[in-house]
Amino acid sequence: MFLIAVKFPTGISSSQKPILTWHGKLLHKAWISARMIITIQTLSEERKAWDMILSGEPGIKSMEESDFIMVTGIGLISGGLDSILAARVLQDQGIRVIGTSFVTPFFGAEKAERAAAMLKMELRVMDITQAHLEMLQSPKYGYGKEMNPCIDCHALMFHEAGKVMESEGADFLFSGEVLGERPMSQNRQSLMNVARDSGYKDYIIRPLSALFLPETLPEREGKVDRKKLLNIEGRSRRRQMELASYYGITEYPQPASGCLLTEPGYARRLKELMQHTPILESRDVQLLGAGRHFRLDTGDKVIVGRDQNDNEKLLSMKDKTDVVLDVRDYPSPIAIIPHGASKESVAKAAAICVRYSDAPRDKEVAVIYNRGEEKLTLSVKALPNEELDKIRI
């Protein structure tokens, strides 16, 4: 393979820019000092290039590797082994990979950050809470076993990663999804639905299962060598473990979603919240992860801390519209009524707070009420266990 630069008139359209190759590695479309790079791939092209060189054609320039911009892929990086391997397979082709990871109240980017450091890969972390909450309330493909809308979620992530691809001038998107590894979200039809609904259907490559899937635009254009992609499918992890050993990858998390929406207890609380809240807000779903939850007959919710850590979480998330309750003279959890409540609900919430405090259950005790600048003292008895069981979420 031989590379030359040929001078072209300025203003030539971007669609006429060819792909360039350096030492067998596919690189990005690029202008260099108003010259265009062409790749010698056929005998006729090689003869033409040599004719130009031997005749001293103006515009010939020797090129250095540092002059080139590499083909770039933008990947969904969870930090799990599959996404690590997908990035590594592409790096083997000399492709620059940039990771994306997403933050919502249900999952974070910690594992992706560790994986990116290991792979020496740039990582873009984006908070997609608002878009995710809107999708979560009415997912096109429904939920998994719990409240996890995996197909819609993956499409949303690819859509957001596609914006990064465009802003970075990158060439394609990729993920570590494996055909058949997850029966609902990674069957053939689901993978096709994700690609289509993302808005970037022909740009999404799944390097670990690519040979079982339709060829994509970057493969057809020669930016990604399809012959060097893989044919992994199914739920067995044997091939992935072998690849990890081959690449010397020894530290990675065990297979798990890392998403609160797949956890039965959290999912139950979320489903109950959605039955009472027409529009989900970030704080409402964050509160689901702390304390004991109760729904009163009035429709108001009460959240009671389990321990000091829960109490601190609840206090850190409260706002001025919330009612905050605390037993005055005994060790006690914090109780919160989000967005306030009626006097009847406040009295019952105070009784719940007493029940979980160290106060005696057979006599009235003082409970401090706070809401914004308002502060009161209530006197209540602990709520009996049989009543608690009726309202527990």
- Domain termination residue (choose one: 42, 67, 92): 67
Classify residue 106: in a domain, yes or no: yes
Same domain? 38 vs 79: no
Q: Is the pTM of this model over 0.75?
A: yes
Classify residue 276: in a domain, yes or no: no
Same domain? 141 vs 248: yes
- Domain termination residue (choose one: 50, 67, 84): 67
Give pLDDT, residue 48. 56
Kindly state the tokens that stand for 297: 């007959």
- Whether 209 has a pLDDT exceeding 70, the answer reads yes
Classify residue 355: in a domain, yes or no: yes
Classify residue 331: in a domain, yes or no: yes
Give pLDDT, residue 278. 85
Q: Which domain holds residue 304?
A: 290-391
Same domain? 23 vs 130: no
- Strand order of the β-sheet with 72-76 is 122-127, 96-103, 72-76, 172-174, 204-205
Q: Strand 72-76 to strand 172-174: parallel, antiparallel, or no bridges (unpaired)?
A: parallel
Same domain? 101 vs 194: yes
Q: Position 108: which residue type? A: G
305 contacts: CB under 8 Å, gap ≥ 6: 290, 291, 292, 311, 313, 314, 333, 334, 335
Classify residue 313: in a domain, yes or no: yes
Q: CATH number of the domain that 126 lies in?
A: 3.40.50.620
Same domain? 114 vs 175: yes
Same domain? 53 vs 82: no
Classify residue 102: in a domain, yes or no: yes
Same domain? 92 vs 232: yes
How many domains, in total, are found in the chain?
3
- Domain termination residue (choose one: 236, 258, 280): 258
Same domain? 25 vs 91: no
Classify residue 270: in a domain, yes or no: no
Same domain? 112 vs 133: yes
In this predicted model, what pLDDT tens digit does every residue of 38-97 receive, in sequence order?
444 444 554 555 455 445 444 444 444 444 457 899 999 999 999 999 999 999 988 999
Alpha helices in 55-128 (DSSP H): 81-91, 110-119
As a whole number, the mean pLDDT across the chain is: 86
Of residues 59 and 251, which shows the higher confidence score? Answer: 251
Give pLDDT, residue 88. 96
Same domain? 251 vs 147: yes
Same domain? 239 vs 300: no
Same domain? 40 vs 128: no
Classify residue 383: in a domain, yes or no: yes
In this predicted model, what pLDDT tens digit does every residue of 17-27 receive, in sequence order?
333 443 344 43
Give pLDDT, residue 47. 52
Kindly state the tokens that stand for 341: 């409540």
